[in-house]
Amino acid sequence: MHAVIKTGGKQYRVVTGEKLKIEQIPADVGTEITLDQILMVGEGESVQIGTPFLAGATVKATVLSQGRHDKVMIFKMRRRKHYQKHQGHRQNYTEIRIDDIVAA
Q: pLDDT tens track of the chain, all 104 residues?
A: 999 999 999 999 999 999 999 999 999 999 999 999 999 999 888 999 999 999 999 999 999 999 999 999 999 999 999 999 999 999 999 999 999 999 87
Residue 57 belongs to some domain of the structure: yes
Q: How many domains does the chain have?
A: 1
Whole-prediction pTM value?
A: 0.85
Residue 86 belongs to some domain of the structure: no
Please give the residue range of the domain that contains residue 13. 2-66+93-102
Residue 22 belongs to some domain of the structure: yes
Residue 87 belongs to some domain of the structure: no
Edge-first strand listing for the sheet containing 10-15: 10-15, 2-7, 38-43, 46-49
**Can you tell me the distance from the alpha carbon of 7 to that of 36, in angstroms, rounded to the nearest whole number?**
9
